[in-house]
Amino acid sequence: MYFRGTIVELKPYQAGVIRDLDRYLAYIQETHRYDVAYNHFWRDQVGDYDPLTGTGMRPYQNNIPGTPHVCVKVPTAGGKTFIAVNALRTLFDAYATERPKAVVWMVPWSNLLDQTVRNLSNPSHPYRQKLNSLFNHRVAVYQKKDLLQGANFSPAVVQQQLSIFVLSFGSLRATKKEDRKIFEENGALSTFASLYDSDQHLLADTDQTALINVIRSLTPVVVVDESHNAESELSVEMLRNLNPSFVLDLTATPKKNANIISYVPAIELKKEHMVKLPVIAYNHKDKTQVVESALNLQRQLEHLAKAERKAGGRYIRPIVLFQAQPKVGEDNTTFEKLKAQLLKLKIPEEQIKIKTATINELAGIDLMSPSCPVRYIITVNALKEGWDCPFAYILASLADRSSAVDIEQILGRVLRQPYVVRHTNDLLNVSYVLTASAKFNETLQSIIRGLESAGFSRNDYRAAGSPAAGEAQQTDSHPKPATQVLQSYLFPETAEPGNEEIEPEKIQFDATASLDEPVILAPSSALTSITQIAVEKNQAFDQQIKQQEAGELLPLLSELGDKVKTVAIKDDYAALVQTLSLPQFYLSVPPIGLFGEAERVLLNQEVLLKGFKLAEEDIKIDWDTVDSDLYKIDLEHTQGNQYRPVFLQIDNVQVKEVFVEYILSKPKAGQVKDLAHRLMQQIGDMYPIPDAQIRLYLERILSSFDAGRVKDLLAREYTYRDKIKKKIRALADQYAEEQFKKLLIVGKIMVEPGFTFKKAIVPGTLGKSLGKSLYEREGSMNNFEERVIAELAALPNVLFWHRNLSRGKGFAINGFKSNHYPDFILYTQKGTLIVLETKGDDRDNSDSAAKNRLGLTWADQANRNPATIGPADSGPANRKYTYFMVFETRRLDDTHTIAEVKELVSQL
C-alpha cells in the first residue's frame, strides 16, 4: 500500500469494508444491541440462519461480554492496515465526542510492531497522512516504553488528540517478568487518577497508577492485527483486561468464532491490481532444474520489466525467493551451500542475500530502490507475515524430492503486485512457485494451505494438471472456481526420489548476458511451458473479472459458498429475461489523443458535481425546528468492573458549562475553527464533495452565529450536524440536476441498454410468496409494498414482477441523484417494462420529488432511443418504459395512488 510520494486513497473494495462497518454501527443504533445488530446485518444480506442446512450467517458469538467484537476478512496484500486507519474515523463518529479517542493497536510479532509504529508515525507515509486528515493533525503514536515513562502522555493530551498505543500480544499477556511493568504501580502516570469516575474500572489487585488501569480508564477501541493469533483463552483475557469499547479484528484467516462483518473476495484484489494472481505452480524433475528455471525466469521477467520501463512504466526488478532446507543433514540444500552454488554460476555476490532466523543480510536495504542489486533472497522460513516486497515474483523451493514441500509459510510474500497497477506484459501480473517433489500432490495441498493462510479460500482454487494427475488433485467437495487463484501443472516424473545435489555445471544460465536481450527458450523447456501457462491463465482471470463486472458472478458466493441461499429465475421467464436489458444513463467521454475514440461511461453524480463549489453556496438553514430524537453510543459501568455500550438521547443534553465558557472565551476566529473541526468529525465523509469545501462552508455558517446560537449548537450539535448534512446534500443534488439537464440537452448524456437480470440473486430476508414473481422467491417488503404489488400482480396483463434489490445488487436509475433503486420492476404481456417506486406518507417529499423527476426523465429518454425500444415493426421487441411513484394517500405532482396506478398499469 505504500508508494513513494503517493497519497493512497481507499480502493473500491476497501471503501466497501468501511461501508459494511458503518452499516453494522447503524444496526446497533437501530437495535441498541450489538449482538442483535450483527444478526440483523447478515439476515438482511443472506437470509435467516438455519442451523439444519447451514444457510445464513451463524449468530453473533459473544467472545468478550459487554463489548462489540467484529472481524474484517481481507486477503494478504489487501491493505488491512489502511482499512483499519480509515475505520477509526467511522468508529469514533459513532461514539460521543467528549470521550478521549484512544486506540490500542495490537500486533503478534516484534517485527510487525516496529513496522506498524514506523508507518503510523512517519508523516510522509500514507497511513499517517490519512490519520492526519481524518483527525485534524492531532495524532500521537506511542510504544510501551513511551507510555510507561509518561512521555508526552497525560490526561490533558489524550483529551485533545487521537492516541494510538501500539503493543504486542506478549506485552499484555504478561507471561514474562519484563512485561509485568504494565500491571505495576507507576508514579509517572499518577495524574491519570483524575480521569477515574470511581474504582469500578480498576483491574483487581492492580495499583490505580498502573498503565493497564490508565488504558482501561480510556475504554479504548482495540484493533487486533493478524487476529487469528489471538484466539486462546489467554488472548481473550488479554482483550478483556483492556476494557475496550469496541474490538476490530483484522485477518486473512478468521477463526470459527469470529464475527465477520465484511469479506473481501480474491477477485477484488486482482481487479484493483493489488495481487499477482493466479499463482502458477510447476513441478520439475530435480532441484537443478528448479534453480535453472528460477534464474532464467527471473532474467526473462527483468528483461520484460526493463522494456516496460522504457515505454513509460515503473521500475521493477523481479526477485527470486529460494526456500532452502533447514540444517538437519549433510545432504540437504542448506542456505550456505545454495549461495555457494549460485556463486559458481558467476552471479555477483551483491545480488544474493540470506534471511534466516539468525542471519539478516536484508537489514537496512531498500529492495525497491533502483540502485539495489538484490535479485535472489535465500531463506528457510524467516519470511513470514509482516515482510513485504512487491518485487518478489518467484518462490523456488529446494526441499528434498522425497518430501512434501512446506510452502504455506512464505507463499504470501510473492503475492503483492508492484505499484498496484496492471503491467503491460501478462508475465508481470502473476506469481510463480517452482518445486521438485516426488510428492507433488501433497506439495500442492501445502500451496493451497498457503493460499488459505493468505485469505484465499478453497472455493477460489482449481487445479489443472497433467492427465496422470487428473481430478485427484481436486480436494474440495464443493469446487466453485469463480476465481482461479492457483493453476498447477505436473512435470512427468522420471527419476527415482532422492536427496540429489544441485549440479551448477548442468544449469544453462549466463549471468553476464545483457538484459536488453530476451532469454532464448527451447520449445520443450520447462520455462516455455511456465510462460505459456502464465499468459493463458492470467488472461482467463481477466475474463472472470469482466464476467463479474457484467453481473454474471456474485462475489459474495465465492466467500460464503453454501451459506448463501440463492434464488433462481423461474423457468417460465428465463428465455424472455435473457432478451431484456434495462436502459441506464451514459455519459459521452471525449477521446484521448489524436487517434483515440470517444467512450461512453455509466453516469454517476460524481461527474455531475465537477465544478460544484459548496463554499460559495447559500447558508440559509432553519435552526429552530427540532428533528426526532437522536441517540449516541456511550459507555456505562457494569458489574465485573467493565463498561458496556449504552444509548443516550443526545438532543438537548446539558453541555458542561466549563467547555461552553472555554469556547466562548476564544476570539471569534478561534471559535469558528474549533467548532468547524468538531462538526467535521461528526459530519464525516461526503464524497465526492471535498473536505476542504465542507470546512469552508461550515466556517461561513459558524461565522454568522452569536453566543446564544453557539450555546444551542453545543447542546444540540447532532441535530445541527444533520441539518447541515441535509442542506449540503440538497445543494449538491440541485447542482447535479442542473448539470444533468444541460448535458442532456446538448446530447452528452444518453440512455442505452445496460442492466441485465442475474440468473440467481441473494435477496437476504425473503418476502411472502406471491404469484407471478420473476424469481422463485423475492426479497422482503413492508406492508404497503406488499399491498401494492399484490394488487398489481393480480392484473391479467402483468406477466411478471420483481422486488428490486438495493446496495449495488439490483437495478439503479443513475443520474443526478445518488443511485435511485426503485422498489419494483414489472413486465406486461404487451412488452411494457414498468419501474415502480412506493412511498409511505412519512417520506420526505423533497427527496421523493427529485427521484420522481429522475424516473420520469429516464422513461421519457428510454422511449426516444431506438437502441432501447427496438424498430417500430419488431412486435414484442418494441418495448416501452414507464415509471410510477405510488403514495399511500398523500402525493406529489405527477405521482399516483394505488387505485390510479392500478388503472394505468391495466392498460399497458
pLDDT of residue 632: 53
User: Residue range 662-683: average pLDDT?
Assistant: 84
Exposed, middle or buried, 81 (CB in 10 Å: 0-12/13-18/19+)? buried
| Domains along the sequence of the chain with CATH | 12-264 (3.40.50), 268-498+526-560 (3.40.50.300), 614-733 (no CATH), 756-905 (3.40.1350)
DSSP alpha helix (H) spans, 122-217:
126-134, 144-149, 155-159, 169-173, 211-217
Please tell me the least confidently modeled range out of 129-143, 645-659, 782-796.
645-659
Cα distance from N-terminal residue to C-terminal residue, the chain = 54
Mean pLDDT of the chain: 81
pLDDT at 2 over 80: no
Q: Span 347-371, mean pLDDT?
A: 90
The pLDDT of residue 652: 44
Three-class secondary structure of residue 108 per DSSP = coil
Q: What is the pLDDT of residues 801-839, one digit of tens each?
A: 999 998 778 999 998 887 799 999 999 999 999 999 998
Q: What are phi and psi of 294, to 5 degrees?
A: -60, -45
CA–CA distance from 481 to each of 401, 532, 564, 593, 737 (Å)? 30, 21, 16, 40, 43
Among 291-300, 641-650, 654-663, which range has the highest average pLDDT? 291-300
- Average pLDDT over every residue of 715-742: 90
Q: Per-residue pLDDT for 464 more than 70? A: no
Nearest-angstrom CA–CA distance, 298 and 292: 10
Alpha-carbon distance values, 469 to 440, 452, 481, 533, 760 (Å)? 10, 22, 18, 17, 34
Q: What is the pLDDT of residue 827?
A: 95
- DSSP states of 18-37 as a string? HHHHHHHHHHHHHHS-HHHH
Number of residues that this document lists for the chain? 908
Phi-psi region at 684: left, alpha or beta (left = phi > 0; alpha = psi -120 to 50)? left
The residue among 473 and 498 whose pLDDT is bigger is 498
Residue type, 54: G
pLDDT in tens, 427-454: 999 999 898 877 777 777 777 777 777 7
> Please, which residues have CB within 8 angstroms of residue 347's CB and are 6 or more apart in sequence?
295, 376, 511
Eight-state DSSP code of residue 423? -
Ordered DSSP codes for 768-836: ---TTBSBSS-B---HHHHHHHHHHHTSTTEEEEEE---TTSS--B-SSSS-B--SEEEEETTSEEEEE
For residue 74, give the nearest of 274, 242, 238, 233 by alpha carbon: 274
C-alpha to C-alpha distance for 168 and 154, rounded to whole angstroms:
22
Cα 743 to Cα 784: distance, rounded to the nearest angstrom: 37
Task: Give the dihedral sign, CA 103/109/114/115.
Answer: negative
Phi, psi of 14 (to 5 degrees): -70, -40
Task: Give the residue-averaged pLDDT of 857-869.
Answer: 83
Where is 887: in which H helix or E strand? strand 880-887
Distance CA 508, CA 531 (A): 17
Q: Which residues pair with residue 141 across a beta bridge? A: 164
pLDDT (average), residues 57-77: 89
Q: Which of 49-63, 208-222, 855-869: highest mean pLDDT? A: 208-222
Q: What's the whole-number mean pLDDT along residues 408-434? A: 87
Q: 335 in helix, strand or coil?
A: helix
What would the pLDDT profile of 304-340 be if each residue is shown by its tens digit?
999 999 999 999 999 999 988 765 544 445 788 889 9
- Lowest-pLDDT choice from 145-149, 613-617, 890-894: 890-894
Q: Is the pLDDT of residue 871 over 60?
A: no
More reliable by pLDDT, 746 or 764: 746
d(CA 417, CA 405): 24
Closest by Cα among 503, 521, 520 to 286: 503
Q: Report which residue type is found at 127.
A: Y
pTM of the full structure? 0.76
Q: Supply the pLDDT for residue 586.
A: 92
Contact assessment for residue 321 and residue 379, using Cβ atoms and an 8 Å cutoff: yes
Give the residue carrying C-alpha cell 443504533: 29
Q: Which of 190-204, 802-816, 877-891 has the lowest mean pLDDT?
A: 190-204
Q: In the predicted model, what is the mean pLDDT of residues 661-675?
A: 85
Which pLDDT score, from 0 to 100, does residue 176 have?
Answer: 57
pLDDT the model gives residue 112: 85
Measured from the Cβ of residue 250, the count of other Cβ atoms closer than 10 Å reads 24
What is the pLDDT averaged over residues 717-737?
Answer: 89
677 CB burial (10 A radius; 0-12, 13-18, 19+):
middle
Residue 604: predicted pLDDT: 84
Taking the C-alpha atoms of residue 208 and residue 202, their distance in angstroms, rounded to an integer, is 6
Q: Is 700 exposed, middle or buried (0-12, 13-18, 19+ CB in 10 A)?
A: middle
Pairing of strands 162-168, 139-142: parallel
| Among the listed residues 444, 390, 452, the one whose alpha carbon sits nearest the alpha carbon of residue 419 | 390
How many distinct helices (H) and strands (E) make up the chain?
28, 25
What does the pLDDT look like over 147-160, one tens digit per residue?
A: 999 888 988 888 88
* pLDDT given for residue 657 in this prediction: 66
Task: Find the DSSP H helices in 566-667.
Answer: 571-577, 605-608, 657-664
pLDDT reported for residue 196: 65
Please report the beta strands in 679-766, taking only residues with DSSP state E, as ranges in sequence order: 749-755, 760-761
pLDDT at 201 over 90: no
- With a CB cutoff of 8 Å and minimum separation 6, the contacts of 780 are 44, 763, 764, 765, 766, 767, 803
Rounded distance, CA 63 to CA 505, Å? 59
376 pLDDT more than 80: yes
Query: Which band of pLDDT confidence, cut at 50, 70 and 90, is reported for residue 634?
Result: low
Return the closest-CA partner of residue 215 out of 634, 681, 643.
Answer: 643
Amino acid 431 reads S
pLDDT at 475 over 60: no
Question: Any alpha helices (H) in 521-644, and if so which ranges?
Answer: 526-549, 555-560, 571-577, 605-608
Cell representation of residue 164: 494510538
Extract the runs of DSSP E, i.e. beta strands, from 372-503: 376-379, 392-397, 431-435, 486-489
pLDDT greater at residue 662 or residue 570: 570
Residue 702 clears pLDDT 60, i.e. is over it? yes
Kindly report which listed range (434-443, 525-534, 775-784, 785-794) carries the lowest average pLDDT score.
434-443
Angle at 902 between CA 896 and CA 905, to 5 degrees: 100
pLDDT level of residue 786 (50, 70, 90 thresholds) = very high
Q: Look at the block and give the residue holding cell 536427496.
A: 499
Helix (H, G, I), strand (E, B) or coil at 114: helix
pLDDT for 277 beyond 90: no
- What does the alpha-carbon distance between residue 103 and residue 223 come to, in Å, rounded to a whole number? 7
CA angle 898, 903, 908 (to 5 degrees): 120
Non-local (6+) Cβ contacts of 581 within 8 A are: 753, 754, 755, 756
pLDDT at 439: 72
Query: What per-residue string of b and e applies to 470-500 under the rule 16 or more CB within 10 Å gives b?
Result: eeebbebeeebbbbbbbbbbbbeeeeeeebb
**For residues 218 and 245, what is the distance between their CA atoms, to the nearest angstrom?**
9
For 108-140, write each residue's pLDDT tens digit.
888 788 889 999 999 999 999 999 988 888 899
Contacts for 197 with CB less than 8 Å, ≥ 6 apart: 637
Mean pLDDT (whole number) for 26-45: 89
